[in-house]
Amino acid sequence: MSHILVYIAATDGKVKRSSLEVLSHCRKLASENGLKLTAAVLDADPSRYTETLSKYGPDTIFTVKHPVFGNHLNTPVIEALSNIISDSAPRLVAFASTESAKEVMGALSARHQAGALPDVASFTLNGDVVEAERPVMSAKVLSLTSSNSPLVMVSVRSGSYDATEQPGTAAVQEVAFDFDTAGLKNVLKEVLSSAGDKVDLSEAEVVVAAGRGIKDADGVKLVEDLADALGAAIGASRAVTESGLFPATLQIGQTGKVVSPQLYFAVGISGAIQHVAGMANSKVIVAINKDPDAPIFQYATYGLVGDLFKILPLLTEQIRSVKAG
């Protein structure tokens, strides 16, 4: 029986939430189409991920163990996945849409003559056809694309699906991988992370994002206090990263990061389409803005119209006192 293969992105002993979202959706597609569900995890010690993965219902977990996976490089990932694809002939290969997936999926699609549907917001498999919706033009419109290629690869934007557990008894299959690191044309020397990245923005459950309305260092402090009280990651609009109040690594939007937290605070952000492109998948959006006509309110679940310099201290104090019981 053919299968749907999900590539699992995982680092530092933790599986990325976006991969679990893809795995959960593929479990549904596999069962609807009478296919098996498989997951591939590549790591210096992949066994540390199998317990978590088995909670999401794959029939088989392919583990590829090699020291080269200690620091992420696309070349060995492409080689190992290519071997699994050649040996097991999946119907569909699915990735969480990450920077790495762009190159890995592109290379694998070319090598295996697969149809490629990158960066989709939703997708279905009905018999011979994979159909996907993909946000284009800064997410102003959705394009509907499809492929009836015998092998299709798809990468999925984070937050498109819920990660839902369905524990099963996954078989773990170790895949031998012979890789000569001497042939590598690039090496990863160091991973630099900004001092502001206390919580990984792309994976965060709660994000407090700052816009131009925060104005200065006093506004920065209020945003940091709120994020601290919530245990949230900090994000920012481009207006703020360009002003230097927060580093460019925290920019959310078309030319920044795409986030999909359970809770998103937009603080002094107008809601330009380029910003919304990076946060529209957030589950609950709270907008704080003094302009009642700010476009961000069109996307907000809850809107607070008022001066953020008055609202934020009260909000932070309330959250701290609720948390303190």
Ligand X SMILES: Cc1cc2nc3c(=O)[nH]c(=O)nc-3n(C[C@H](O)[C@H](O)[C@H](O)COP(=O)(O)OP(=O)(O)OC[C@H]3O[C@@H](n4cnc5c(N)ncnc54)[C@H](O)[C@@H]3O)c2cc1C
Query: For residues 114 and 269, which CB has a smaller minimum distance to ligand X in the complex?
Result: 269
The residues that touch ligand X, with contacts defined as CB under 6 A, are 211-213, 237-240, 251-256, 268-270, 272, 274-275, 278, 288-291, 294, 307-309
* Structure token digits, residue 236: 């920012």
Query: For residues 26 and 308, which CB has a smaller minimum distance to ligand X in the complex?
Result: 308
φ/ψ (deg, to 5) at 321:
-75, -35
Cα angle 158, 76, 57 (rounded to 5 degrees) comes to 45
Among 131, 202, 200, 121, residue whose Cα is nearest residue 155 = 121
Separation CA 224–CA 218 (nearest Å): 10
Beta bridge partners of 15: 10
- Kindly report the number of other CB atoms within 10 A of residue 317's CB atom: 12
φ/ψ (deg, to 5) at 258:
-105, 125
**Least distance CB 214 / ligand X (angstroms):** 8
**Least distance CB 49 / ligand X (angstroms):** 32
Query: For residues 58 and 253, which CB has a smaller minimum distance to ligand X in the complex?
Result: 253
Distances (CA, A) of 22 to 41, 120, 122: 14, 11, 10
**Least distance CB 273 / ligand X (angstroms):** 7
- Hey, what's the torsion of the CAs at 68, 70, 76, 80, to 10 degrees? 100
Separation CA 183–CA 113 (nearest Å): 25
* Structure token digits, residue 135: 């946000």
Query: For residues 39 and 239, which CB has a smaller minimum distance to ligand X in the complex?
Result: 239
Query: For residues 117 and 236, which CB has a smaller minimum distance to ligand X in the complex?
Result: 236
Contact assessment for residue 44 and residue 33, using Cβ atoms and an 8 Å cutoff:
no
Residue nearest to ligand X (CB): 253
Query: For residues 20 and 288, which CB has a smaller minimum distance to ligand X in the complex?
Result: 288
Query: For residues 215 and 320, which CB has a smaller minimum distance to ligand X in the complex?
Result: 215
**Least distance CB 296 / ligand X (angstroms):** 7
**Least distance CB 236 / ligand X (angstroms):** 7
Length of the chain: 325
**Least distance CB 244 / ligand X (angstroms):** 14
**Least distance CB 118 / ligand X (angstroms):** 19
